Structure 1
Amino acid sequence: MAPSTFNVNVGILGHVDSGKTSLARALSTLLSTASLDKHPQSSERGITLDLGFSGFTVPTPDNLKESLKHDNVQFTLVDCPGHASLIRTIIGGAQIIDLMMLVVDVTKGIQTQTAECLVVGEILTQHMLVVLNKVDMLPEATRDEKIEKMKKRLALTLNGTKFAGCDMVAVAARPGGAVSMQPAEDIALAIGMEDLVKKLVEKVPKVPRSLDGPFLFAVDHCFPIKGQGTVLTGTVLQGVVEVNQNVEVPHLKVEKKVKSMQMFHKSVNRAQKGDRLGICVTQLEAKLVERGLLAEPKSVPTIDGAIVAVDKIRFFKGEVKSKAKMHVTIGHATVMAEVLFFGIPPASDSESTPFMSIEERVKGFTFDREYAYLPELLAAPKPGSKPKKPEEEGGEPVPQCGPQYAVIQFESPVTCPLDSLLIGSRFDADIHSNTCRLAFHGRLIQPCDVRNAAEMARLRMYKMKSKEGAIDRVNDAYTAIGKGLFKKETDINLFVNMKVRLEGDGGEVGTIQGSFGKSGKYKISFPGGIPAD
């Protein structure tokens, strides 16, 4: 019986020219159809223009044999592009990785795309390993000192992320920096590969993946084989697939039967979540499916809009306004979309609604409650955090936010699973400005037709409005008469118990108690008292 293999997908991400492809080449013993920069421009410039896949295999460590029940662990290396125009491909690649290797040029440190890759990794994976590449470029006399200095700098950067305290390994994947394909003897000169493989093995998931859910497969490459059919290579995102099973190409609405399958040139009859393989089907035009999804029939819809749970990415410095147009990456597509934000407001001005994760918001969303319209997306509180008082922020009022959501209208239809992750970006921003362009992330709750008024009426959304009035006179320490908010014909009973706030340092809050006379004046009660001045 052939030895069984457990597959782990390792995403290699980082800034352009940080050495990701060289690292994959130095680690690899197997090459897949999409691997190692076949595009002519890649060879000329030494950069990755598409997702490349390669891999290596090690015996399953003794401490994992009982839980994984496989003889070998295969590391599939996903080499993602790092240059600006194709960062959406990084997002597509990040959805299929179990573990992230963040490659940093030790001579340059964190750069714009390095930071964006870090943001994507924080959203989509739980495990990261930092690889300090190009250590051969440092003078030998001071190499160790400079490596330690860079590790300390990176540790400070990572302290504010989920990857605080993650392992770092120093390597030189391509000593000398030659652009051409290295011969085997040059690869053997690579520095630090043994330590890197050891760290990767330590991070192998301790438990097998769940196989629940309908079959879903991320296609990264498609090509015809004469006399056989069309081969789609990619990674199983969800569920299982077997030979002779019917599958669908969702964006084409075409069903095909699986004729045969291979994992790194070895025929298999069954594959499951996490596996990297090629699937052969017949009578499918390869050029129609260069990238996308393969799925259980009828399980992946095409949608024009969606209600989603969202959080602002804390590294994004700009405002994210309602009705703004953003680049939204969902499934394997990046399209322009208009966003409109809404949420559950805090219980009061000095309190925040208990923190809810995106997953909790997806499960708990209902049309049975009212939601407040949000003019912009606010920074999300951290789990367990408490809102700061104005005096702790230098006297400025601090915007509070509860759970936040968005209605998204896509400019063109997108095909995606019903629980898809998504990322909103400003790719029109200057890549050289050294600022993060990824603005928010979230998860799809349900599709919606934004143009259908009846459907959108189910979403009960209100806007907060305010008016300015004045104190006409003070009755006593706790009550006053106000004017200037209402016309004399206004029914003030409609506004009873609504709050008013005094301008000034104290900002005392009172409530409207009822009308006073017939000229539009009204009685106000201040439970905390009215300041003497």
Structure 2
Amino acid sequence: MFKKPVQMGEPGDRIAALFTNLDAKEIERGIVCQPGIVSLLENIVIDFKKISYYKGQLKSQNKFHITSGHLTVMGQLKLIIRPKNLQLEINSEGEYLEDYEDFGKLQEKYNLYGVLQLEKPLIASMNSLVIGSKLDTDLEANICRIAFYGNILHSFTGQQIFQQNYLRIFRKKSKNGKVEKVIDNYTLLIKDLFKKETNIANYIGKLIVIKQGNIQGKIESAFGKSGKVKVFVESGTNQDMINSDVVMIYKKYLFHK
């Protein structure tokens, strides 16, 4: 078949190459490319698209068989969303999504991405197609095993995900407390929002909402060592606020302390 010597090959050509001192038993499949085209990718971010015929669970923390090119490895999925008007960069914030089912009511305003933490590196290039499957599903079940697909947008090492300037995945959390006292015309004393061992310094400047009247305030400082805090209310305080419920909504990052 391959009897004509050639000096070069182009995409789409079928050629044979002879490598000396190479044990063919050590190679199952391989890629021939220019240096730097492909890399060993430990973790990847893809633009996430669900296969409509897949009826299994599609949740963050689930493990799937991840295929790109000739390789298939195991990987853990984390779903994240980001507003459509904001491009996803490697130093961007992405909000954690627990279940794909929750994306239905969000898809008009948000794009969906998948973060895949791989158990073994993939050999692939940026923008390569990635397929996520449940290949351990019973073959006799007669159900779709391919769950999702997408193209590789970013990659990062296992250590980079813990760095503050890399992809920051957060969950929205809330803490609840009560107004204990009106200190002055612009300051409230809030109790039950934090435990006494909490480092209040981490929350200085965070917004809280007084549910009665939906009034915003800002945490100003700790009050003693009991977990109570002073809150500045720009619009002013009044005695009717005493015993009102307050809530603080904040971001908790998955990998960063």
Q: Which amino acid aligns with 2:58?
A: E
Distance 1:429 1:336 in 2: 14
Instruction: Give the aligned partner of residue 72 of structure 2.
Output: 334
What is residue 14 of structure 2 aligned with on the other side?
278
Q: Classify 1:380/1:313 alpha carbon distance in 2 versus 1 (closer, same or farther; 3 Å).
A: farther
User: What is the CA–CA distance in structure 1 between the aligned matches of 2:70 and 2:161, rounded to whole Å?
Assistant: 27
Which amino acid in the other structure matches residue 243 of structure 1?
V
Q: State how far apart, in whole Å, the 2-side matches of 1:292 and 1:381 are.
A: 38
Aligned-partner Cα distance in 2 for 1:422–1:466: 32
Q: What is the identity, as a one-letter code, of the residue corresponding to 2:207? A: M
Once the 2 structures are TM-superposed, how far is the Cα of residue 484 of structure 1 from its aligned partner?
A: 0.7
Query: Would the alpha carbon gap of residues 287 and 326 (structure 1) be closer, same or farther in structure 2, given more than 3 Å must change?
Result: same
Could you say which residue in structure 1 is the equivalent of 2:238? none
Instruction: Quote the Cα distance in structure 1 between the aligned partners of 2:222 and 2:36.
Output: 62
Amino acid at match of 1:374: Y
Asked whether the 8 Å contact 1:330–1:420 carries over to 2, the reply is yes
Contact 1:328 1:423 in 2 (8 A): yes
**2: distance between equivalents of 1:306 and 1:516?**
40
Distance of 2:154 and 2:135 partners within structure 1:
26
**For residue 496 of structure 1, what is the aligned residue in structure 2?**
205
2:171 equivalent to 1:464: yes
For the pair 1:311 / 2:33, whether they are aligned, the reply is: no
Is 1:409 equivalent to 2:118 in the alignment?
yes
Matches within 5 A, 1:56-67: none
**8 Å Cα contact 1:306/1:445 also seen in 2:** no
The Cα of 1:499 is off from its aligned counterpart by 4.0
User: What are the superposed Cα offsets for residues 445-474 of structure 1, whole Å, 9 maximum, x if unpaired?
Assistant: 344332xx3685241525436354333469
Distance 1:291 1:513, change over 3 A: closer
Give the residue type in structure 2 aligned to 1:426: K
**1:72-116 Cα deviation digits (max 9, x unpaired):** xxxxxxxxxxxxxxxxxxxxxxxxxxxxxxxxxxxxxxxxxxxxx
What's the offset of the Cα at 1:526? 11
* Aligned equivalent of 1:325: 63
Distance 1:297 1:449, change over 3 A: same
Are the counterparts in 2 of residues 312 and 379 from structure 1 also a CA contact under 8 Å? no
TM-score norm. by structure 2 comes to 0.60
Residues 305 and 409 in structure 1, CA contact (< 8 A), matched pair in contact too: yes
Per-residue deviation at 1:517?
5.5
Aligned to 1:444: 152
Q: Which has the higher strand share?
A: 2
AA in 1 matched with 2:68: I
Q: Distance in 2 between matches of 1:434 and 1:448?
A: 36
Query: By how many angstroms is 1:493 displaced?
Result: 8.3
Deviations 1:188-239 (CA, angstroms, capped at 9, x unpaired): xxxxxxxxxxxxxxxxxxxxxxxxxxxxxxxxxxxxx6x949xxxxxxxxxx
Q: CA deviation at 1:243?
A: 3.4
Query: Match for 2:96 among 362, 374, 379?
Result: 374
Q: Distance in 2 between matches of 1:380 and 1:469?
A: 25
SS of the equivalent of 1:414 reads strand
- Secondary structure (helix, strand or coil) at the match of 1:466 reads strand
How big is the alpha-carbon RMSD for the aligned residues of Structure 1 and Structure 2? 4.7
- Give aligned-pair identity as a percent: 21
The TM-score with structure 1 as length reference comes to 0.33
Deviations 1:468-517 (A, max 9, x none): 43334697xxx976421124675468333424585xxx9x5844454586
Question: Is the CA contact (8 Å cut-off) linking 2:50 and 2:148 kept in structure 1?
Answer: yes
Task: State the distance in 2 between where 1:493 and 1:418 align.
Answer: 37
CA–CA separation in structure 2 for the residues paired with 1:487 and 1:496 = 18
Q: Which residue of 2 aligns with 1:426?
A: 134
Greater share of helix: 1
Aligned residues: 226
CA distance in 1, matches of 2:73, 2:172: 33
* Cα offset, 1:313, TM superposition: 0.6
Q: What is the SS of the residue equivalent to 1:496?
A: coil
Q: Secondary structure at the match of 1:471?
A: strand
Asked whether the equivalents of residues 44 and 154 of structure 2 are also in contact (C-alpha less than 8 Å), the reply is yes
